[in-house]
Amino acid sequence: MGSVYQAEHVGLGIEVAIKMLGEGFFNDPKAIGRFKREARSAAAIQHPNVVRILDTGEADDGTPYIAMERLRGESLSSLLRRHRKLPLDVMGKITFQILEGLRAAHKKDIVHRDLKPGNIYLAKQNDDRILVKLLDFGISKSITDEVSNLTLAGSVVGTPRFMAPEQARGAQDIDARADLYAVGVLVYRMTTGRLPFSGSTQREIVAQIIKGNYDPPRQVNPEIPLELEKLLIKALKTNKEHRFQDEDAFAAHLKRICPAQDDPIDDMSIILAPHENDFISSDRNSQTRQSITGSKQASSGSNLSLSKPRPGRGSSERYAALSNSQSGHSSQISGLHPSQSTERPTVIESPLSRRHTQLEYPIHRPIRRLLFVFVFSLMIFGGGLFLVKDSRSFLKSLFYNVKTPITVGINKYMPAAMIEEDRIRMTKHISRTLKRPVNLVIFDDYVSIAKKLAQNDVQLAVFSAFAYVQAKQDYPNIKLIARHVTQSGESYQGYIVSKPDSGIRHVADLKGKKFCFVNPNSTSGYLYPRAALRRNNIDPDRDFDTAFFTGNHVSALGALQSGACDAAAIFSGIFAESDKHGFKESAFHVILTTDRIPFDAYCVSKEFPADLTKKIRESLLSLKAGSDYANKVLGPDGTIRGFVPADDHDYDPVRDVELSLRNKKKK
């Protein structure tokens, strides 16, 4: 999401770390809000085991930044990559300091919600002892906040493998016990050498967490003491009322296993890598400093200012950039060579945080329910006028024929505003032809859409090709009725792109680079690019330095443009809409093109009334691609140009790709 620079406060002569939000997120209010909240939350805690915030504000060009204390050492994630398991005494000392930092945060009513090895830093002190620091409060939550635009009720926020079950379910009442659950996952990882919950997809991981399915610690590592296994079983209870209720209870149990855990960590010189993250030597500093200056106030009440380098500045400069934290080279802020963690925060939002576009006259659900009960009672006491099957059909038709809104569900493959713009004409058309209101609901994952479709909470679902294949496996009662087409025809392609000046011209150049996919359910932003990479002898699970998900195609290009990744997978049609999002194909180099992909599948449930299914299908197919009527309804600039009949076999190529990747993974 951004870049971290080593810098020096010129006036005070102290080194600091400056974290700047990546350019790809400047138009994302949630990302900006989380970035600012990270500064507020960490600054409010003020504890030795929490990274210290020195300053925050915006550069002259509006780039948000946070100035923090400069740490030397390494992350727990880095340590665990070298040492799969840690000795009990080392694990205990690290865990005790984590609990101390959490205790301070929780006293301020701040829940971290994203504890993981990448957010725990082992900082070397001047006396060579180790001080554990908690980092990245960007998605933290104040328990006293009743409403938050950043973390709405029903949103799932955090890194999946470390989430508490209540987080995975999207519960609103997330409290300090979710952090203590994450500590339990960390202890499990440090002592067994692996995480308790794993899976090939995010959905599988979340399902395991909610059910509490994990291997007993002593089964994974027989050397673990029985008392530690008891601690982990309690810490990982699915019901938060049965877990440790505070840091004191957790620490008291841990002390029975590691009595000396609260001693300073002064015996880790062998474990810690020498000069880890000491990415610029002192003798280089004087040769490579560059100014970060400006006249705009950094923050309210602050006398510090920050901007991209400008010539001609003198004694008014506040910060001097020394280097970027990953590249090992001095870098101007305008260069944006980011420090990229291998464990990125994941933000998944459920339907409760969705956006609604309601077109006309909704009927409230309680009224529909009362009507349903009334009609059902009449039929029960009416002397058996209908057979059971006919009664159900009659009731469904009656239930949906009282101007009940039709809900159209779609996955968030692009920013919500763009999706609404693309689909608004289509939904209005359905509303006019069916003479009933239509709601457009944007979901953040296909799983929610499929489930809502099966429950009749969504009447028309729009699935990407891969999402349709997955949804059809999970819910066989899904019925395909149409596909849309665009100017490119009935199918499209995925691209793997880089920046022209990156030196990455061929697929082989991707080895060892940072790569960003869209999301695990994206056809052109994940499934097909993986297959294309494997055909070109690139293993996406092994050959990249880092691979992560950005959430949507626009964010993927934004991450590539800002330098957060070296290459990205996106769908080819995004460049045809450059006027909407600002990305032009000429600004990128296409390294690889995937096979053709069928466009989105429009589906209903087989349980949905047949007469309404027919009307919706006829409404869509009346927009025949290229016809004057379709052009008039959909507009001259719309992405969707019309609809064609669809058959399940149209998506067999997608199934073949998914099956081939699955078989390769097993091998």
pLDDT digits (tens, 9 = 90+) for 33-42: 777 777 777 7
**How would you classify the pairing of strands 546-549 and 514-517?**
parallel
Q: What is the pLDDT of residues 513-545, one digit of tens each?
A: 999 998 888 899 999 999 999 999 999 888 998
DSSP lists the bridge partners of residue 155 as 349
**Residue 159: what pLDDT?**
67
- The CATH topology of domain 494-595 is D-Maltodextrin-Binding Protein; domain 2 (3.40.190)
CA distances from 622 to 410, 431, 435, 599 (A): 21, 14, 16, 18
Q: Which CATH number fits domain 354-363+403-488+599-649: 3.90.120.10, 3.10.310.30, 3.30.1540.10, 3.40.190.10?
A: 3.40.190.10
- Does the global pTM surpass 0.95? no
Q: Please report the beta strands in 253-351, taking only residues with DSSP state E, as ranges in sequence order.
A: 290-292, 319-324, 347-349
How would you classify residue 360: left for phi > 0, otherwise alpha for psi between -120 and 50, otherwise beta? beta
54-78 average pLDDT score = 85
Which residues contact residue 365 at a Cβ distance below 8 angstroms, ignoring those fewer than 6 apart? none
DSSP 510: G
CA distances from 259 to 73, 90, 234, 251, 327 (A): 26, 12, 19, 10, 41
Q: And the tokens for 400?
A: 């949906």
- Residue 292, helix vs strand vs coil: strand
CATH of domain 73-255: 1.10.510.10
Name which of 2, 29, 42 is nearest 151 in CA terms.
Answer: 29
Which residues contact residue 579 at a Cβ distance below 8 angstroms, ignoring those fewer than 6 apart? none
Give the residue range(s) of CATH 1.10.510.10 domains in the chain: 73-255
96-113 average pLDDT score = 90
Q: What is the pLDDT of residues 483-513, one digit of tens each?
A: 999 887 888 999 999 999 888 989 999 999 9
| Cα gap 617→230, rounded to integer Å | 57
- The number of beta carbons lying within 10 Å of the beta carbon of residue 252 is 11
| Cα gap 479→468, rounded to integer Å | 10
Number of H-type helices and E-type strands within the chain: 21, 27
Q: And the tokens for 287?
A: 């040769």
Q: Class of the 2-71+277-335 domain?
A: alpha beta
Which range, of 151-155, 173-177, 245-249, 412-416, averages the lowest pLDDT? 151-155
- pLDDT more than 70, % of the chain: 72
Angle between helix 652-666 and helix 465-474 axes, rounded to 10 deg: 80
367-388 average pLDDT score = 57
Give the residue range(s) of CATH 3.30.200.20 domains in the chain: 2-71+277-335
Which residues contact residue 16 at a Cβ distance below 8 angstroms, ignoring those fewer than 6 apart? 6, 7, 8, 9, 54, 67, 68, 69, 70, 319
**Residue 268: what pLDDT?**
55
**Residue 9: what pLDDT?**
81
Compute the mean pLDDT over every residue in the chain, rounded to the nearest whole number: 76
Give the residue range(s) of CATH 3.40.190.10 domains in the chain: 354-363+403-488+599-649, 494-595
| Cα gap 547→58, rounded to integer Å | 29
Q: And the tokens for 277?
A: 């993250």
State the amino acid at position 565 in one-letter form.
Answer: C
The alpha-helical segments, DSSP class H, found in 108-201 are: 165-168, 176-192
Q: And the tokens for 278?
A: 């000491």
